[in-house]
Each structure stands twice: as structure tokens, then as C-alpha cells.
């Protein structure tokens, strides 16, 4: 039997960007939007066009550049917002106007100062207007989970009649519980006329740590779109994490008989790219993409892992794009390995650009021995920004953004022992899947990668022949 397809609506660039410290400029948003495209998300919410000129430009440029997924732009339920969103979409391949209006009594009374009747009318009018511009219109009754259910049904019915094609049910303040949220979706399906003709969507915040559980409960009761963000970033405690939603469905098809179009091997690169751009590191124990997600420390676990990884791993690191731990990027690595690792992290370069990165990489590798993903992403950023001059690359390498030489970095016990050094008592051994190879703990604030780099056979990669082959 075919499994229902769940639409993945990524709102990293809109709700995610609203989280403290996560704002992005237009270039950064463009770059991330391309990675989201590679990841295979169905909808990218690119911004809130009326909010600022920067947001407007980001939506406009993403819609012009990224043609496969639907590009959504947020608008309050008023003509000015809807028109501005539509303006940003000129020339877009698959635009969606996303209209929202709060419906809970608490928001109506204190924030909007309107009655339920006015709310109903405003929602209907805004959707009707959006529909005259764009065939794809989504409506969100903000704070839906704290809205009187009968009134919520009334609003949802009205916006469907006005032309909404997707109805999103936000748990704006992360208040609901899985069973309760599932029941709400079921009630809407039972009571609202026309609901069978539209897509029901979840949008859950994580204030009680239940955003993913609530989203999945909504899906089980008939929601067919999930709104989520990379690394779960978003207002306050964040949104439902995209990688957790996708992998829960993939790892437990016996419980969640649904599928998504996400190419899961792009999850880790997307997570790393976001952390690098925002400089907000991924929490180490973050499911799927945290640096400890595939690390095994306890002796019993290490023993099990070495005998059979299935003992302690429910998915392979490779399945989510975590690079093979046997592979290390160091001073003996060549351009091929470097190019491959850059690609795994979502950056494809022309030969000339790669040469520049390579020269900086060699200087850095000489200094810190093992180059982690976070360091590599720094180099990539420098080159993309036209940053440090190649001739000054050593300055960059010496500067505070890179850690000191490996000798001064704390080694996990297994690595230092293997290297013949004194075991560092403060960092226990880490066995990474595959080779049992430990990683140096990076000291820079950028997202750390504990999974190693790309492996290269230890040959003389600095030979003239290789330079010749790469046309340096």
C-alpha cells in the first residue's frame, strides 16, 4: 500500500530567523535556500516581505533563483502585507502567500483589540484578496491551540470558502500536548465543511519540548504538511526540528507510514551550514545532527559498537550525511579530498576557488594537524567573502578564529594514547562508528564536528604531479 506523502514546509528562513541571534543577510539566505533545495524540502518559507527591505529582497531573490520548491512569503491578514508579498513574487515559479491572523481570545482582546466577528471577517477578506493574486494561499489562525474550538472551526471554514488551499494549525506558544493536538486536527476534519479539499498543516513550537511529538500526532490524525526548521531553530524554544521529523518517519515506518521527499544525506550538511551562517552552534546532544549523536563513550557501548553497530545505533551516520569517521582531513590531504568534503558540506567550487581554499587549508593543517568541518567552513566563508588575501592566509590561520596547534588541544584519551601522548583526563575516549577513531575537540565557537573529515590515502599529495593535475 502506498504511504501518504508528507509535505515538508521549511520555515528556517522565516520563523527560524526570528530566533535571537539567528538573523541572516540576503546572501546567507540565498545560500541556505539552495541547500534546502538540495535537501528536497517541498516548501521554503523565505521571509516576511513587509517586515523589512532585506526580507523583501530575500524572498524576491530566492523566488527568482530557486525554482523547484514552492516559495512562501508571510503576510498579516491585511491588504498591504498581502500586496507586498505578491510584489516579491513577480517572476516566481511556484509562489505561495501565507496569511496569518490570531484567533485566540487572549490575542484578540489584548493584542489585536478586535472581536471574534471582526477577526472572522478580516481573515476571510485577506484570504479572498490573496486568492485574486495567487492560486496557492495558506492561512494560519495564530495561537490556534488556545482558540475556542468552535470558533476555530468557524474561521477555518470561512478561509477555505474564501479560497485557502492549505490550513495551518499553529501551536504558537508550544502549549499543547500530543494527544490533545491530534484530537484538534481530528475535530477539524470532522467538523469543518470543505476541509477534505485542502491540506492540513502542523506548526508546533517547542516550549515544552514537544514540538516534534505534537507534529507527528497531527500527522497521525490527518495533517499532510509539517512546518519545521533545520536544527529546530525558531521563536523562543524553537520550532519542530526538520531532521527529527524526517528521521522519525524514516526509522519507524512501522509506526509512521508516511514518506517525505527529503534526501536525508543532506541533513547534516544543512545543519552545519546553518550553524556556520548564524554562528549558533548545534547543541552537542541534539538528535540526528549534534556532535554526540553518533559518538559512543561508555565501555559497554563501545564494545557493542565494535561488535555490531546495530547494538547501539538505530540509523547510520551516513544516512543523515555525517561523514565517515575513518576519514580525516589533515596536511597530507589533497584537493580531491578537500573538494569532496566541501561538497559534502554543501559547497561546490571552481578549480580556482578550490585552489585558494586549498592553500589556506594547507597552512592551517600544518598548524592544527586535523582540520574539522568548522575550520573548513571558516576558510570557505573567507574565500566567499573575498576575505583574507592568500598571501596573508597565515595571518588568518594564526588569528583568533582558529584554535591553536593541536598539541595544545585536549585529546580524547584513545586518540592521545594512540598518538603516544599522555591521556588527557578531562576528555574521555570517544569511539566513532567505523574506525574507533577519536577526534580532537575544537576550541573555536563555530559548530564542532566530531565525526572527522574526509579520508585520503596517505600519499604525497603536495607533489608537483598533483599540482599539475589540478592546473595550479
* Rounded Cα distance, 35 and 230, in Å: 11
* Rounded Cα distance, 339 and 356, in Å: 12
Most distant pair of Cα atoms in the chain: their distance: 77
Provide, rounded to whole angstroms, the least separation between the CB of residue 129 and ligand KIV: 18
* Residue 176 interaction partner, one of ligand KIV, Zn ion, none, beta carbon < 5-8 Å per kind: none
- Cβ–Cβ < 8 Å for 451, 326: no
Q: Which one-letter DSSP state was computed for residue 205?
A: B
Provide, rounded to whole angstroms, the least separation between the CB of residue 23 and ligand KIV: 16
Provide, rounded to whole angstroms, the least separation between the CB of residue 346 and ligand KIV: 26
* Rounded Cα distance, 58 and 94, in Å: 16
* Rounded Cα distance, 378 and 369, in Å: 16
Question: Judged by CB under 5 A, does residue 356 bind Zn ion?
Answer: no
How many other CB atoms sit within 10 Å of the CB of residue 310?
10
* Residue 373 interaction partner, one of Zn ion, ligand KIV, none, beta carbon < 5-8 Å per kind: none
Provide, rounded to whole angstroms, the least separation between the CB of residue 72 and ligand KIV: 10
Provide, rounded to whole angstroms, the least separation between the CB of residue 222 and ligand KIV: 19
Provide, rounded to whole angstroms, the least separation between the CB of residue 460 and Zn ion: 54
Q: Which CB sits closer to Zn ion, 10 or 15?
A: 15
Q: Which CB sits closer to ligand KIV, 170 or 447?
A: 170
- Cβ–Cβ < 8 Å for 432, 438: yes
Q: Which CB sits closer to ligand KIV, 213 or 415?
A: 213
Q: How many residues bind Zn ion (CB under 5 A)?
A: 1
Q: Which CB sits closer to Zn ion, 76 or 433?
A: 76
Q: Which one-letter DSSP state was computed for residue 410?
A: P
* Rounded Cα distance, 130 and 163, in Å: 9
* Residue 140 interaction partner, one of ligand KIV, Zn ion, none, beta carbon < 5-8 Å per kind: ligand KIV
Provide, rounded to whole angstroms, the least separation between the CB of residue 299 and Zn ion: 43
Provide, rounded to whole angstroms, the least separation between the CB of residue 203 and Zn ion: 6
Q: Bin 229: left if φ > 0, else alpha if -120 < ψ < 50, else beta.
A: beta
Restricting to residues 5-44, which ones interact with Zn ion according to CB under 5 A? 15
- Cβ–Cβ < 8 Å for 396, 388: yes
* Residue 100 interaction partner, one of ligand KIV, Zn ion, none, beta carbon < 5-8 Å per kind: ligand KIV
Q: Which CB sits closer to Zn ion, 49 or 453?
A: 49
Query: What would the x/- binding string for Zn ion be over residues 168 to 207, using CB under 5 A?
Result: ----------------------------------------
Provide, rounded to whole angstroms, the least separation between the CB of residue 168 and ligand KIV: 6
Burial code (b: 16+ CB inside 10 Å, e: under 16) for 367-384 equals bbbbbbbbbbbbbbbbbe
Restricting to residues 118-157, which ones interact with Zn ion according to CB under 5 A? none
Q: Which CB sits closer to Zn ion, 15 or 382?
A: 15
Q: Which CB sits closer to ligand KIV, 112 or 418?
A: 112
Q: Which CB sits closer to ligand KIV, 170 or 346?
A: 170
Residue 250, C-alpha cell as written in the block:
524514516
* Residue 374 interaction partner, one of Zn ion, ligand KIV, none, beta carbon < 5-8 Å per kind: none
Q: List residues bridging with 115 in a β-sheet.
A: none
* Residue 375 interaction partner, one of Zn ion, ligand KIV, none, beta carbon < 5-8 Å per kind: none
* Rounded Cα distance, 117 and 416, in Å: 69
Binding site for ligand KIV (CB under 6 A): 15, 100, 140, 142, 168, 170, 172, 203, 205
Backbone dihedral angles phi then psi of residue 59, each to the nearest 5 degrees: -65, -45
350 burial via Cβ count (<10 Å: 0-12, 13-18, 19+) = exposed
- Cβ–Cβ < 8 Å for 371, 329: yes
* Residue 142 interaction partner, one of Zn ion, ligand KIV, none, beta carbon < 5-8 Å per kind: ligand KIV
Q: Which CB sits closer to ligand KIV, 72 or 396?
A: 72
Question: What's the first-to-final CA gap in the chain, in angstroms?
Answer: 55
Residues near Zn ion, by CB under 5 A: 15
Amino acid at each position: 500500500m502506498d504511504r501518504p506523502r508528507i509535505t515538508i514546509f521549511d520555515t528556517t528562513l522565516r520563523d527560524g530567523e526570528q530566533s535571537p541571534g539567528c538573523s541572516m543577510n540576503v546572501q546567507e539566505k540565498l545560500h541556505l535556500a539552495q541547500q534546502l533545495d538540495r535537501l528536497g524540502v517541498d516548501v521554503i518559507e523565505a521571509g516576511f516581505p513587509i517586515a523589512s527591505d532585506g526580507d523583501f529582497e530575500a524572498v524576491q531573490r530566492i523566488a527568482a533563483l530557486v525554482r523547484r520548491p514552492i516559495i512562501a512569503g508571510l503576510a498579516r491578514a491585511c491588504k498591504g502585507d498581502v500586496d507586498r508579498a505578491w510584489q516579491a513574487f513577480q517572476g516566481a515559479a511556484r509562489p505561495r502567500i501565507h496569511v496569518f491572523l490570531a484567533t485566540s481570545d487572549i490575542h484578540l482582546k489584548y493584542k489585536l483589540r478586535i472581536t471574534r466577528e471582526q477577526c472572522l471577517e478580516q481573515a476571510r477578506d485577506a484570504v479572498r484578496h490573496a486568492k485574486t493574486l495567487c492560486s496557492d494561499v495558506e492561512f494560519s489562525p495564530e495561537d490556534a491551540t488556545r482558540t475556542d474550538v468552535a470558533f476555530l472551526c468557524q474561521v477555518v471554514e470561512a478561509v477555505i470558502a474564501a479560497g485557502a488551499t492549505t490550513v495551518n494549525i499553529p501551536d504558537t506558544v508550544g502549549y499543547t500536548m500530543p494527544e490533545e493536538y491530534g484530537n484538534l486536527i481530528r475535530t477539524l476534519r470532522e467538523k469543518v465543511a470543505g476541509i477534505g479539499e485542502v491540506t492540513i498543516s502542523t506548526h508546533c513550537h517547542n516550549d515544552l519540548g514537544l514540538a516534534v511529538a505534537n507534529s507527528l500526532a497531527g500527522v497521525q490524525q490527518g495533517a499532510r504538511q509539517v512546518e519545521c526548521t533545520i536544527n529546530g531553530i525558531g521563536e523562543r524554544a524553537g520550532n519542530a526540528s526538520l531532521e527529527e521529523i524526517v528521521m522519525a518517519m524514516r526509522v519507524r515506518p512501522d509506526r509512521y507510514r508516511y514518506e517525505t521527499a527529503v534526501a536525508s544525506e543532506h541533513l547534516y550538511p544543512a545543519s552545519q551550514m546553518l550553524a556556520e551562517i548564524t554562528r549558533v552552534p548545534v547543541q552537542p546532544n541534539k538528535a540526528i545532527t549534534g556532535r554526540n549523536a553518533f559518538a559512543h563513550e561508555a565501555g559497554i557501548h563501545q564494545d557493542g559498537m565494535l561488535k555490531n553497530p546495530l547494538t547501539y545505533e538505530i540509523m547510520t551516520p551516513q544516512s543523515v550525511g555525517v561523514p565517515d569517521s575513518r576519514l580525516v582531513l589533515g596536511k597530507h590531504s589533497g584537493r580531491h579530498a578537500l573538494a569532496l568534503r566541501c561538497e559534502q558540506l554543501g559547497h561546490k567550487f571552481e578549480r580556482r576557488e578550490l585552489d585558494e581554499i586549498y592553500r589556506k587549508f594547507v597552512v592551517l593543517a600544518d598548524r592544527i594537524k586535523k582540520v574539522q568541518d568548522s575550520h573548513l567552513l571558516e576558510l570557505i566563508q573567507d574565500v566567499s567573502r573575498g576575505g583574507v588575501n592568500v598571501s596573508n592566509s597565515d595571518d588568518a590561520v594564526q588569528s583568533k578564529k582558529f584554535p591553536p596547534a593541536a598539541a595544545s588541544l585536549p585529546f580524547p584519551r584513545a586518540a592521545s594514547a594512540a598518538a603516544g601522548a599522555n591521556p588527557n583526563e578531562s576528555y574521555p575516549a570517544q569511539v566513532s562508528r567505523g574506525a574507533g577513531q577519536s577526534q580532537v575537540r575544537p576550541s573555536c565557537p563555530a559548530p564542532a564536528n566530531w565525526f572527522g573529515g574526509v579520508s585520503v590515502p596517505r600519499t604525497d599529495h603536495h607533489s608537483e604531479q598533483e599540482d599539475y593535475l589540478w592546473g595550479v
